[in-house]
Amino acid sequence: MAEFDLYFSPDVINHSVPPNLPPGREGRKLYMSTFLTAFPDLQFRIDDMIAEGDKLVTRWTAQGTRTGDLMGIPPTGKSATVTGIAIDRFVNGQSVENWGVFDQMGLMQQLGLAPT
């Protein structure tokens, strides 16, 4: 989480975090901490990175075991692997705008929380 302060501007505009979170970097940290609490062994792998102009596109894979609560849902003990894509716009070496998507339905299915 300490890397967030280096990577994201304090006033980053997050286009993909829930609207009930605070704006900027603090909201992004809260969103990520939700998943780190639910998946304490969470690991990310960068599959591809493409940079053009002031934007960086990152295709990633995350894997972890759900041993903590996730948004009020008790732990399942199941492992899951999800993929996602993030696009960041940089100014002075920090992300000032972020868009991201990941396979939320696939995650819920792997955890047994949604039908396959």
Close Cβ partners of 19 (under 8 Å, ≥ 6 residues apart): none
Report the chain's mean pLDDT, rounded to a whole number: 94
Model-level pTM greater than 0.85? yes
Domain ranges in the chain? Answer: 2-110
Q: Three-class SS of residue 48?
A: strand
- Cα separation of 28 and 14, whole Å? 7
Pick the CATH number of 2-110 from 3.40.640.10, 3.10.450.50, 1.10.10.60, 1.10.510.10: 3.10.450.50
Of 30, 6, 10, 8, the C-alpha closest to 18 is 30
pLDDT value of position 23: 86
pLDDT confidence bin for 111, thresholds 50/70/90: very high
**pLDDT tens digits along 3-49:** 889 999 999 999 998 889 998 999 999 999 999 999 999 999 999 99
| pLDDT given for residue 73 in this prediction | 87
